[in-house]
Amino acid sequence: MNLSAPAPALDHLRIRELVDVLVEPCADAWDNAGTLPADILRRFADEGLFGAFVPTEFGGLGLSTAELGKIAEELGRGSMSLVSALTVHSMCTASILRWGTDEQKARWLPRLAKGEILGAFALTEPNIGSDARNVEAALVDQGDHYILTGSKKWITGGLFASVLLVFAQAGGQPTAVLVPTDSPGVTVTPIEGMLGFRAATATSIRFDGVVVPKSSQIAPTGMGFSHVVNSTLDLGRFLIACGSTGLIRACTEAAVAYARERKQFGTILFDHQLIREMIANMVTRYKAARALCERAAQLRDAGDPGMIGETTVAKYYASTAASQSANDCLQIHGANGAGPGMPIQRYFRDARMTEIIEGSNQIQQLVISQGAVFEFRKRKAKAR
């Protein structure tokens, strides 16, 4: 592959090539360093990754959700940290695209689409976890601007983001605003020693009397949760589901390769029935997760309201399946997988994180079960 040649149009096949050459050989080193190198982010920005789904009128590629999902899967095969960086950037960008004013779109979208600047999603707080309706950060009305105070935690990409989509209470109503990270009063601190997604750089962020012009508000006051958060998290769950599917594939590829090379008790591991059972389960999980993601993408592209339910199912299944497959992959590798020099322990740690981010699996179960009340109602027999 000639990486210096003019790049073809971005699609999942191009991302597959880049992952093979630029990501897989380095992902463990990024994980150990706890950061994504600036030149890698720049390279993927130049390819158009960060504006993949943004309409061409704003400088993006205008790709379908289906193609975006395939791209996220390829990235997940190489590095879930890259998937996480793409996810939070896309959540910020999508919110501006859907809910922003014409002025906000003109100001932010072209630069975000080209990756000249990156965005992040600042919702979670130390005391509220998944209780997004009750964020404690506050916006105090000062006429033509707000004063923002409060703190956020576990914010992916805070160190490389130039703009944050921040959720806070304005007069007791959940409200979304755009806050540049170089604003006076914004302090971003990295969180070291994370279990997974280490290279994506989780951060704590404090807002100490930050002046936020009212022109930076996304959607009307009070719609921060009901509209902006809900639609944005749905995109985040979709990307994590697709990335998790790629992670399942990475685990399966590693398990198959190792089982066909490693001898135990005089026999190739692959010839042991129990090993084959684990690999068969991994293959099945991958294909099932991929099918669920493809179905969710199809509904998103069609604008079908059922997309939210299908995306939730895809995220719940794919993340659970990733954890199960990473566990089986580690079991097949034994101590060799738990030690340094192989990516298995990174797969294991990253897979566990997929069950927590963008809404824990318990939250997904609540949403899925509530949907079952309508989708799986027993039909009454018609009177003859």
Report the catalytic residues.
358
Tokens of 220: 């009307």
| Alpha carbons 97 and 108: distance in angstroms, whole number | 9
Could you give the CA distance from residue 284 to residue 267 in angstroms, rounded to a whole number? 25
Q: How many H-runs (helices) and E-runs (strands) does the chain carry?
A: 12, 10
Q: What is the helix (H) or strand (E) element at residue 279, kind and residue range?
A: helix 273-302
Alpha-carbon distance of 121 to 319, in angstroms, equals: 20
* Tokens of residue 302, six digits: 């069609």
Q: What's the token pair of residue 237?
A: 């769950």
Virtual torsion, Cα 267, 273, 274, 275, nearest 10 deg:
60
Query: Which residue, chain included where needed, has tokens 């809910």?
Result: 99
- Count of positions (residues) in the chain: 384
